[in-house]
């Protein structure tokens, strides 16, 4: 397996996402994603972890599949991996074997799918998968192949992808397919299970939503809204851009499982058209 250069590995480290954050405000709001009691119960099941991992690491984008209200999306997540120069192999390893961070997301490849090798040369990434990695029916391969292509396309040295399975060429050269929708909102921070100290939660990600407005809401373990506000993406739909926002609240004296909600509402009737929930631990 040919490794990518150290320069490419540096480019793989995602830059901090930045945009203008809308003001946070406290108090309840009409509408919202899931039932509060259910969200709070899910938050309590997530193990608390420190906000920063020890040692050198990279944050790599991984594109899973997610269905919301009957519509399927390619949903990017940012996964921390130990520092390596073989960033393409590391990203594909998370795609095939990693655990989705977002509730409702799933891996696009079956259990047992393995990466046999990947090399990048003259802008083309050649990926060799195990024979059972792709379905036999060619029509069912579109989504997993595009998840693979999008995951590799984060690296500037990759312009196209050729895929082999069981030693035989099965697809390519492939580029990103604009016909498959990306999830309207993707969160880079906070990660599920993060410990939020103090009374301020910073939210970062990317979005393609109406007028670039990403709704944000923080619920406690009883389902009560403790803070709400919004972030503004650098571009509104159909464009896509980074966003950031912050929520201010009164932190409990001890650590409690709370739930962050990020969502898009319809400009026509105010209904939630897409939403994410991220369990976090909040305390002083």
Rounded average pLDDT over 66-78: 94
CA distance to 9, 47, 55, 57, 59, per residue, from 52 (Å): 20, 15, 9, 10, 12
> Looking at residue 55, what is its pLDDT?
54
> Looking at residue 33, what is its pLDDT?
53
The set of long-range contacts for 99-103, using a CB threshold of 8 Å and a minimum separation of 24, is 100/64, 101/77, 101/191, 101/192, 102/64, 102/66, 102/75, 102/77, 102/187, 102/192, 102/276, 102/278, 103/42, 103/277
Please determine, for residue 138, whether its predicted confidence score (pLDDT) is greater than 60. yes
User: Tokens standing for 110?
Assistant: 């079956």
> Looking at residue 172, what is its pLDDT?
78
> Looking at residue 222, what is its pLDDT?
93
> Looking at residue 215, what is its pLDDT?
97
CB atoms within 10 A of CB 221: 20
Overall size of the chain counted in residues: 284
Q: Which of 209, 207, 181, 187 is nearest to 74 (CA)?
A: 181
Rounded average pLDDT over 175-196: 92
Query: Which has the minimum average pLDDT: 8-12, 81-85, 100-104, 229-233?
Result: 8-12
Instruction: Yes or no: say if 145 and 152 are a contact pair by the CB < 8 Å rule.
Output: no
* Average pLDDT of the residues of the chain: 82
Antiparallel, parallel or unpaired: β 105-106 and 57-68: antiparallel
Q: Give pLDDT tens digits for 4-13.
A: 333 333 333 3
Rounded average pLDDT over 24-46: 44
Please determine, for residue 115, whether its predicted confidence score (pLDDT) is greater than 50. yes
Q: Give pLDDT tens digits for 230-250.
A: 999 999 999 999 999 999 999
User: Tokens standing for 141?
Assistant: 């391969």
Per-range mean pLDDT, top range of 23-27, 189-193, 262-266: 262-266
Binning pLDDT at 50, 70 and 90, where does residue 46 land?
Answer: very low
% of the chain beyond a pLDDT of 70: 80
Binning pLDDT at 50, 70 and 90, where does residue 153 land?
Answer: very high
| Spatial distance between the Cα atoms of 208 and 232, rounded to a whole number of angstroms | 10
| Spatial distance between the Cα atoms of 242 and 236, rounded to a whole number of angstroms | 10
- What's this model's pTM, rounded to 2 decimal places? 0.77
Q: Which residue has the higher pLDDT, 144 or 17?
A: 144
| Spatial distance between the Cα atoms of 86 and 107, rounded to a whole number of angstroms | 21
Q: Quick one: CA dihedral 270, 275, 279, 283, positive or negative?
A: negative
> Looking at residue 36, what is its pLDDT?
47
Instruction: Yes or no: say if 166 and 115 are a contact pair by the CB < 8 Å rule.
Output: no
> Looking at residue 51, what is its pLDDT?
36
User: Tokens standing for 13?
Assistant: 């480290």
Q: Which residue has the higher pLDDT, 1 or 263?
A: 263
Per-range mean pLDDT, top range of 5-9, 43-47, 174-178: 174-178
Query: Which has the minimum average pLDDT: 43-52, 100-109, 160-169, 241-250?
Result: 43-52
| Spatial distance between the Cα atoms of 25 and 217, rounded to a whole number of angstroms | 9
> Looking at residue 56, what is its pLDDT?
83
Residue 283's contacts (CB-CB under 8 Å, 6 or more residues apart) are 195, 196, 197, 251, 252, 253, 254, 255, 256
Instruction: Yes or no: say if 247 and 200 are a contact pair by the CB < 8 Å rule.
Output: yes
> Looking at residue 8, what is its pLDDT?
35
């Amino acid at each position: 397996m040919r490794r990518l250069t150290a320069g490419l590995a540096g480019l793989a480290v995602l830059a901090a996402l930045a945009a203008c954050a809308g003001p946070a405000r406290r108090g309840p709001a009409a509408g919202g994603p899931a039932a509060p009691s259910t969200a709070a119960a899910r938050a309590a099941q997530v193990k608390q972890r420190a906000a920063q991992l020890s040692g050198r690491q990279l944050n790599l984008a991984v594109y899973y599949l997610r269905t919301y209200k009957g519509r399927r999306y390619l949903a990017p997540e940012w996964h921390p991996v130990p520092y390596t120069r073989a960033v393409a192999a590391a990203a594909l390893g998370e795609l095939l074997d990693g655990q989705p961070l977002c509730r409702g997301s799933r891996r696009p490849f079956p259990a047992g799918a393995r990466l046999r090798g990947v090399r990048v040369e003259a802008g083309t990434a050649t990926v060799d998968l195990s024979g059972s990695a792709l379905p036999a029916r060619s029509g069912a391969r579109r989504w997993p192949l595009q998840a693979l292509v999008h995951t590799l396309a984060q690296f500037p040295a990759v312009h196209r992808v050729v895929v082999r399975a069981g030693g035989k060429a099965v697809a390519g050269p492939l580029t990103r397919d604009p016909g498959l929708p990306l999830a309207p909102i993707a969160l880079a921070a906070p990660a599920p299970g993060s410990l939020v100290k103090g009374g301020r939660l910073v939210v970062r990600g990317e979005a393609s939503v109406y007028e670039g407005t990403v709704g944000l809401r923080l619920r406690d373990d009883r389902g009560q809204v403790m803070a709400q506000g919004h972030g503004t993406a650098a571009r509104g739909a159909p464009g896509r851009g980074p966003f950031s926002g912050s929520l201010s609240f009164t932190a409990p004296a001890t650590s409690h499982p709370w739930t962050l909600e990020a969502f898009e509402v319809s400009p026509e009737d105010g209904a939630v058209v897409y939403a994410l929930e991220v369990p976090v631990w909040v305390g002083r």
